[in-house]
Structures are given as C-alpha cells and as structure tokens.
Structure 1
Amino acid sequence: MAEQQVDVVILGSGTAGLNATSRIGPSGKRFLLVNGGEPGTTCARVGCMPSKALIQVAEDYHRRTHLNRYGVDGHTELTIDIPEAMEHVQDLRDNFVDRVLSNSTDNMGDKFVEAYARFVDPHTLELDNGDRIVAEKIVIATGSRPVVPTAWQAFGDKVLTTDSFFELEDLPKSVAVVGLGVIGLELGQSLSRLEIDVHGFDMAQTIGGTSDPEVSAMALETMQREFPIHLGEPVEISEEGSQLRVTAGDQSVVVDKVLASLGRKPNVEGLALENAGIELDERGIPCYNPNTMQCGDSHIFIAGDVNGERPILHEAGDEGKIAGHNAAHDEVVAFKRKIPLAINFCDPNICLVGTSYQALDLDATAIGEVKLAPVGRAQIMGQSRGIIRVYGDRASGRILGAEMITTRGENLAHLLNWAISQQLTVGDLIRMPFYHPVIEEALQAALNNLYAQVESKNEGPVKELYPI
C-alpha cells in the first residue's frame, strides 16, 4: 500500500472538479485529481449536450408538419431513420466528451488518478486500489446520479435513465416518461416528435419547474398538445409480458420502456463522510457556506451537483472555482453568487429567472404580462403560443424575476438575468432599443405593462428616452 502526501485532493473530474483544479494548479500547490467511474462531465456525457442534440433532430423533423402552410408539397413523405439519428446524437456526444478530456485529464499525467476514494480520517483518503492520500485540503466534487426507486430496479433495462438513454442504438415504440421537470419534458417532447408513443407522468400539479400559475397553465396546455400528461398521482409499475404497465390513479398505460427522470442524487455513498469530521445535513450531505463552499470552518470544500443545490453547469463551474481558490489559499474568500437562471429547452422554451413566483411578496410586487399571440415575429414563425411574466418591485421598479414559456425564451431569460444582476429597473429597460420585428418586442410589451404599475417613473416627457 502506497501513501502520498499532497496539499490538495480534488474528488471528481466533472465540471466542478475540473474548475477547482484550474484554480489549484497555477497556485503551485501539490495536488491530485481523483475520479471514480467514467471521466468527463455530466453535461457532456449524459446531460445538456446529448439532450440538445436529440432536441435539434426532433425539431428539424417536426418542422415537416408545418410545411403545408407555406405551400410546400411532399412533406408527408418524409421519414426518419431512428438508429442513424441516435448514432448522430452519440457522435456529437462523444466529440463533446473527447473535447473535455483532451483539454483536461488527458494532459495531467500522474496528477490524475482513476479510483474511488473514501475518508479514513479528516485528512486521509483510502483509494479502492489500496493506496492512501494524505491532504491538507480536500475538495468534494463527486457529482450525482439518476434517482431510480428501489422497486423499479427489478425491471432492469426496461427502466431507462438519462445515463442509459443516450446509449440506445434504437428507440422503443412506446415510452412512459415519469418526472416532467427539465430533462423529462425535453426528452418526452423530442420522443413524441420522433413518432414515439409517449405518456408523461408527474406527482406534481405543474410541469417544467414552473410556479407562476399563469405560466404553469400555459405550459401544461402547450405540452398536452404534444403528448398525454397525467399529473398529481404516484406512479406504480408492473410487468406485463415483455412490456411494463404504468399506473397513476385511474390512468394506466402499457409501454415498452419507462424513462425515470426523477432528478439526480448526490454521490456521497461510499465516501465515508462520517470519518471526515464535518457536519452533515439530514440527507447526509456536508453543510457548507454557498459563498465560500467551505464545510463549516474545516479544510474541506464541496462543489457541484454533489451538494444538491444548483445542479446547473455554470453554477457547478462557479462553485468549483470558489472551492479551488479557497483550497489553494490560506485565507478563505466569500464570493457573490450569480442570479438564478433555469432554462428548459422544450419548444417553446420554459424559463425561470431570479426570484421565483412562489418566493415573491405579492403585495409589494407588480407583474408585467404579455401573451405571444399578437406579436408579429411570433406569428411569422408560427410560434405564437406563449406567455411572459416579469416581476418588479412595486415601489422602485427594480426587476426581481420572471417566468415564461415562449419561443427563444433562452435569449430573453439571459437579458432579464443580466438586468437583475445590474439591479436595473423597468424604467431602465424600456429605454433600451428594441428592433422590429423581433421576439424581444414581446419582452418590451411585458415591460411596458409592468412600468404602468410601478410607482417610480422615468424623468422627462418621453418615458422611453433620456432627456439631454
């Protein structure tokens, strides 16, 4: 059994771990990056990137259903080769993974160790190959894995997760998607557009993570046009011949596969965190400061999906940078975190920005709203179903947040997020240019609606212009 002594150990080579390493390496500290399982990021391997590749294939194929309105003939004869489409998705996925590895672990030599690790004591890690590492500082960035109920595991490969879905060479004829959050809704819609028989299920009464009742209603109405959705009941699965019966309340369907999209669970089992000398919460996750990523006042830091808080790539990257900086320096620095941003890449996009509806003080909040139906560019695109709701402080007009379901919502959500980050008011935003005709004019209409409700008004005779 060999033993190494280093300044810092990073556990996990995903987005958070790699970003932590990028801060520790240049500091001159002796470090090791230890990773159990497949190297690379969740985003590149089983998350953001392969799902977007599949979405693009499905959207392009789905466009054929609208071509008749433009006088295009022959669209009904178009077909899709599903195995070839899946090979395309996997080729892109492999390129994304290779790019991550070629720019990181492939170049690290003996500083990268492929092994699982567990705590022996607060400073000592034992690897599954028998070696030990003693470190002054430790960054936990072990990521997450899909949640699959224990009872469902007995059905083997008939129950898919996002980790296994993108390994399929062909698609089943029918799928029940259980869990209609971001990935469930994205894949459910894509599969339906690829002519797979899809049924969606969720225990919640809303889909896509929405909490604004107007946006939730529009999202449900829109997605139910794509595939049947059953909400508010627990799901049970039973075997029926070579298929699975999925039952929720009085709804029951028989399908070839079930896609379990029930979220992801932090990878902490096997770390023996009880030996790390840090406080754990009721989930067994280390308690930590989100501005320093430090666990208590210890030498241990945690970053990325393993903390179960913000499982989004740019957040994991930030957390890795924060944890890496603080692990590489004696003085622990607190950093300001970014304004929340969540984007569901279904069509139309469902986006949440800043303060959520359920967290608002509605008595002190004004809400600007616009529906997409009258927006010229949306009509031209054939994308006029949607709604944008922008929240502002009623007294000051400061932008607080937004929820929306709209075409190109991914772009509008960024604009609003940046505005909140800069503490801009609705008065500031209506003075920005809005070209014609663009989808941003829908946002302009929502902002004008909001401006009419707030107390703080722009100076000058024309509200949209700065007087000089």
Structure 2
Amino acid sequence: MEKHVDVAIIGAGSAGLYALSQVRKATQSYVLIDGGVLGTTCARVGCMPSKAAIQVGEDFHRRSLFDRMGIEGGDTLGLNAPEALEHVRDLRDIFVDKVLSNSTDKMGEEFLTGHARFLSPTELQVDEDRIHARAVVIATGSRPVVPGDWKAFGDRILTTDELFELEDLPASLAVIGLGTIGLEMGQTLARMGVDVTGVDQLDHIAGLQDPEVRQAAIDILGKEFPLWLGTAAQISEEDGGLRIRAGENSVRVDRVLAAMGRRPNVQELGLENLGVDLDERGLPAFNPHTMQVGDLPVFIAGDVTGEAAILHEAGAEGRIAGFNAVQERVVAFRRQTPLAINFCDPNIAVAGTAWNDLDPDRTAVGEVKLGPLGRALIMGRNKGMIRVYADKEDGRLLGASLIAPRGEHLAHLLAWSIQQGLTVFDLLRMPFYHPTVEEGLQAALYDLQGKVTRQPDAPVEMERL
C-alpha cells in the first residue's frame, strides 16, 4: 500500500499523542505509527506505577512514627509484597486503559501498527507499506540503558520495564544509578523491606548541582539505605546471586535495578536518510523552539530528543512539533521554565536556572533549614532545606533547589514565579498561611531579600496603593 498524507507521526507515546492533538486541528490527513507496546512510558512503566509504589512505601514507612504519637500496634504491621505489587499493577492498568481509550482505541485506518523507517525526509517504509508525508514528527521515545555485558545475568538485572511485573520482592537488591528513577525506587523498595544498596559513579544524587542541597539529600536519604558514590559498579555472579563491587565496597544481592538513564529509540529509523549530520547517539540537531530538524519538514519531540525526559516537557515539545508540522511557516515558541521533581521523601526539586549555570558574582542565595519548621515538625517530616537564587541587583528570581516535605508544590510555586519574572519582594507580598510548609519558603525568601542590593522603600511585605 502507498498512502499520501499531510503528516506522519512516528510514535504513539505522550509526545506523539500531544502532536496528534495539534495536527487534528488543521487536517484529517495523517497517520500515527507505532509498532511497540502502547499506553505511553509514563503510564505503563514510568511516572504512574512508580508513584503508586512510592505511596505504598510511604504509608508503610509511616508506622515508624506511631510510637511517639501514642499510636500502638505499629510494630505488628506487615507488608504483603505480592498484594502490594498487584495493587500497583491494578492502578497502572487503569492509567494505561485511560490513555488507550482516549487515543489509539478510537482510531481506524489512521493508526498503523508497524515500525517506520525513513527512506527520505518525506517518505517512510512501514513494514510493507510506504507513506508519503508533507511533514513527519519523530516521537519514538526511549528505552532503559543496560550495559551489554550485564545481559549475561538474565532476569536478575531489572529495569523499570520489568520491575512492576514482579510477583514478589527480592530479599536484596542493588540500585545502580541514583538519578530520579533509581532514588525513588531505591527508597521505596527499602521502605517495603528490601535490603537495598544504592550505587552511582557520580558523587551526587538526583542530578543535584547545588552543593548544600546535594549534601543534605545524601545525608537524609543515606540514613534509609547505603549510598555508594563516586565509583562505578562492577557485577559478577556468586552463589546464584550477584556480587556488586564499587571501590572498597562490596555486597551480594539477589537482583540489580539498572537505573542509569534512558537511550533514545532511533535504532532502525533510518535517520541517516534525512541527509543531515547525526551525533554520537544517532540524533540530528534540532531547534528547541520549533522542534524542527534543520530546514527539513521533519520535527522531533519527547524522550527521543535525549534532553529533558519529563512528561510535561514531552507534552510541550509534542504540541510545538505537531503545530509546526501543519504550518506553512514554522513558528518559534518560548519554552517553559525548567522544572524537575524527584518524588522521594522528602521531595527533591530544581526549578529555573540550575546552580552550575548561575553567575556567582551576580547571584544572591537565600536558604532555610527545615528542622524547626512547625508544620513539618508536626508531620514528623522536618528534614531538608530550601535554597532560592535571585539577581543580586534587583531581586528577580532565577532558580531554586530544595529537598523538602511536599516540595513538589513549593517547586511549582517557584517555577511559576520565575516564569512570570517575579522578584523576591513580589513573593514576600503574597499571603503565607500559618502553619504550612510554605512558611519554609517564606523564610528562605526573607533570607534572600536581605542580600539584594536594591531594597524597597516600604515594608517588604506590603504593596503601596
């Protein structure tokens, strides 16, 4: 079969579906192509099942506070791991079904099941079919990184593709890679009763650059399970299990969770037939404000870009790519303020400009440690710190790093404020209810405002009429 369409979208994950939402507004001449497992990475093996597991771990871990609160019997509680894992899968299936019922399940011949390969920038081979498109969106997602020599250990090496399919938990496990996935799942499995060891060849966790927040995170999370940092892990077989070595550290475990990042799915896509240079990952250069590849009628979006593998970023990129795929002239869009959240406990988050990208001579830093914070103390979660960055001259907010209870909400407030170009004084004029975790942010802002050169001529909390 040969088919001529206005737009071909390769990949029915989050970015591809967001691209499709824009394409449909302009044309009904399109195809969506996917030969893999449907339901999106987020719903099937990423954001959603991981959060379901995190909730189980947090609720079970909460029993450690019962004695001090006068609640008796906490030491008699137990976790039925098979039931807990089934609960996670049940929720996962709800999320996946919701995605499918609102997308590919409703499509007819516009949805093609198969693997696409570029023959030219506007021509695709999909199994036995050939698709001619005026524009193409590449949204093929990513897959977990597993070193080739580790594959000899078989199913003892897990990724998130397999983790949520387990019928029971192993007694011991090493998490190798302590970014978002590794840290979240390492803490969760430890709270579920697994003997967890975390390993990362880097000297930090969760991608944290701010040295103060980074050390606070290591100190807090290192009390829940060992963190071996700064040395790469070596794996060997031992007595039916696996021996993990990292420098002078060594432990035998039943299984390993490989959480060393994800690799763009570009294998066999034929991107060499686009006629543009490809980098060492096999990816073409693209404009992040248009998502266009060179000057070709080809656009790229989502995890396949190898940039921010975050759902809201995939959504934004998909919308930009889909919109531009149906325009006569490509339009550039302002990207959203960077926002990254790790749902470990306490949450770790970074908003706005990252620490390493700040000009130290022009940046003021405000901070607060959360030990004395009333609301956090009441919750039994008074651990962490908030660091906020602003332009030293005028107080305009630039970024923030934090490890804090309910930090996911604080990070949103900060990202929104940064994107609106607000100053530390603008935020301090906002209401802060008592007692709340937001008062911790207020304290960090007070510390920050005193370090800004240009001070207001009235009480900082008040705005003149």
Please state which band the TM-score falls in when normalised by the shorter chain.
over 0.9
- What do residues 421-442 of structure 1 show as CA deviations (whole Å, max 9, x unaligned)? 1000001111110000000000
Whether contact under 8 Å (2:290, 2:324) holds in the other structure is yes
Paired residues of 1:278 and 1:298 also in contact (CA < 8 A): no
Q: Distance in 2 between matches of 1:373 and 1:315?
A: 33
Contact 2:157–2:258 (CA under 8 A) maintained in structure 1: yes
Query: What TM-score, normalized to structure 2?
Result: 0.99
1:424 aligns with 2:414: no
Within 5 A, what are the aligned runs for 1:96-107?
Answer: 96-107=95-106
How far apart are 1:29 and its partner, in Å?
4.3
Q: Please name the residue that 1:467 is paired with.
A: 464
Look up the equivalent residue of 2:40 and give its one-letter code: T
Aligned mates of 1:174, 1:43 — CA distance in 2: 26
Aligned to 2:278: 280
Give the equivalent residue in structure 2 for 1:386. 384
Alignment match, 1:31: 30
Measure the CA separation in 2 of the matches of 1:96 and 1:278.
38
Counterpart among 237, 252, 255 of residue 239 in structure 1: 237
Q: Residue type of the partner of 1:323?
A: A
Instruction: Specify the alignment match of 2:13 in structure 1.
Output: 14
Mapped to 2, the partners of 1:35 and 1:278 lie a distance apart of 24
Q: 1:51 is matched with which residue?
A: 50
Question: Which residue pairs with 2:148 in the alignment?
Answer: 150
Question: What's the counterpart of residue 219 of structure 1?
Answer: 217
Pairwise CA RMSD: 0.8
Return the offset for 1:285: 0.6
Q: How does 1:4-403 map to 2 (within 5 A)?
A: 4-128=3-127, 130-403=128-401
Of residues 440, 443, 454 in structure 2, which corresponds to 1:442? 440
**Which letter does structure 2 place at the counterpart of 1:178?**
I
Structure 2 alignment gaps of length 5 or more: none
Gaps of 5+ in 1: none
Q: Name the CA distance, whole Å, in 2 between partners of 1:108 and 1:381.
A: 48
For the 8 Å contact 1:173–1:256, the answer to whether it is kept is yes
Q: Distance in 1 between matches of 2:154 and 2:245?
A: 18
Contact 2:57 2:192 in 1 (8 A): yes
Q: In 1, distance between residues paired with 2:76 and 2:241?
A: 31
Large movers: runs of 4+ above 6 Å: none
- The 3-state SS of whatever aligns with 1:109 is coil
Aligned partners of 2:281, 2:227: CA distance in 1, in Å? 31
1:133 maps to amino acid: I
Per the TM alignment, residue 122 of structure 1 is displaced from its structure 2 partner at its CA by 2.1
The count of corresponding residues between Structure 1 and Structure 2 is: 465
* Shift, 1:312, TM fit: 0.4
Among all aligned residue pairs of Structure 1 and Structure 2, give the percentage whose two residues are the same amino acid: 58
C-alpha separation between the residues in 2 aligned to 1:111 and 1:424? 45
**TM-score between the two structures when normalised by the length of structure 1:** 0.98
> d(CA) in 2 for partners of 1:456 and 1:267?
49
Q: Deviations over 1:92-121 (max 9, x none)?
A: 001000000100111111111111111122
Say if 2:6 and 2:27, in contact at 8 Å, map to a contact too: no
In structure 2, C-alpha distance between the alignment counterparts of 1:392 and 1:203, rounded to whole Å: 32
Q: Secondary structure of the residue that 1:110 maps to in structure 2?
A: coil
- Write the distance in 2 (CA, Å) between the matches of 1:185 and 1:412: 20
